[in-house]
Amino acid sequence: DVKVTQSSRYLVKRTGEKVFLECVQDMDHENMFWYRQDPGLGLRLIYFSYDVKMKEKGDIPEGYSVSREKKERFSLILESASTNQTSMYLCASSVRWWANTEAFFGQGTRLTVV
Amino acid sequence: DAKTTQPNSMESNEEEPVHLPCNHSTISGTDYIHWYRQLPSQGPEYVIHGLTSNVNNRMASLAIAEDRKSSTLILHRATLRDAAVYYCILRKAGNTPLVFGKGTRLSVIA
């Protein structure tokens, strides 16, 4: 089974901290994605990556950065956490979309910034 | 991406079929129709996708209108486990991310 694993299910961090959310996939997928999900706003794309060391901004990249040093790992970085970044964060991966196949999601990390 | 319109919520009785509609009147010829669902406290999961013809898999069926301006996800026998938010998404063939709308919240009554 394809597996996308997010390092933590729940996290509590303080305002101003640097926060790392880690995502690992075990299916050799080229594409990886980070979304956040908030009540009433749905899932919004933060960043995505088509390959190692490649990154593209999504709809809401402000306040975030990403790192993809290895194909299987995609990290989301909150440079200085703020309370408005309290949210559910979801990682996903897929093969290249040429064949229009499916994306696989992790279970999510619920981040609370206090 | 072309826009989709879904009802905010629907309700179904357990063990009855459920038809979840999606309108996509601005769909282009290269747009695929994808469905995902999100169970409570989980990430979204793929359900089914199609281009022009109706599609079946172990989870559901996808019925696509002849003009492709609407589609319907069919769950043949709803179970309590099917209670989720269902998202209808249009995707162009090519390497672009999924863009989620608000989806339809399906409640299943025992």
Please name the residues between 33 and 62 in chain A that touch chain B, using a CB distance below 8 Å.
33, 35, 42-45, 48, 50, 58
Alpha carbon distance B108, B85 (integer Å): 12
Mean pLDDT in residue range A76-95: 96
Structure tokens at A7: 């390092």
pLDDT-derived band at A113 (thresholds 50, 70, 90) equals very high
By Cβ distance, the residue of A50, A100, A106 closest to B49 is: A100
Contact predicate A5/A106, CB 8 Å: yes
Mean pLDDT in residue range A59-88: 97
Residue to test with chain A: of B95, B99, B102, most A Cβ within 10 A: B95
Structure tokens at A43: 């899932």
Residue A101: predicted pLDDT: 78
- Flag if B98 and A90 touch (Cβ within 8 Å): no
pLDDT digits (tens, 9 = 90+) for A13-67: 999 999 999 999 999 999 999 999 999 888 999 999 999 999 999 999 999 999 9
Q: Please say if the pLDDT value at position A82 is more than 90.
A: yes
Residue B99: predicted pLDDT: 87
Residues of chain B by 3-state class (helix, strand, coil), percent to 5:
5, 50, 50
Residue B95: predicted pLDDT: 74
- Flag if A98 and B95 touch (Cβ within 8 Å): yes
Q: Is B46 on the interface with A (CB under 8 A)?
A: yes
The distance of A33 to chain B (nearest Cα, Å) reads: 8
- Which residue is closest to B35 within chain A, CA to CA? A102
Q: Please say if the pLDDT value at position A97 is more than 70.
A: no
Q: Is B29 on the interface with A (CB under 8 A)?
A: no
Contact predicate A92/A6, CB 8 Å: no
Alpha carbon distance A90, A4 (integer Å): 10
Residue B92: predicted pLDDT: 79
DSSP structural state of residue B54: -
Which of A79-93, A98-112, B49-63 bottoms out in mean pLDDT, i.e. has the lowest?
A98-112
By Cβ distance, the residue of B32, B93, B100 closest to A43 is: B100
- A50 contact residues in B (CB cutoff 8 A): 95
Q: Please say if the pLDDT value at position A98 is more than 60.
A: no
Contact predicate A103/B46, CB 8 Å: yes
By Cβ distance, the residue of B44, B101, B102 closest to A105 is: B44
Residue B1: predicted pLDDT: 57
Q: Is B39 on the interface with A (CB under 8 A)?
A: no
**pLDDT by 10s per residue, chain B, length 110:** 568 999 999 999 999 999 999 999 999 888 899 999 999 999 999 999 999 999 999 999 999 999 999 999 999 999 999 999 999 999 877 777 888 999 999 999 99
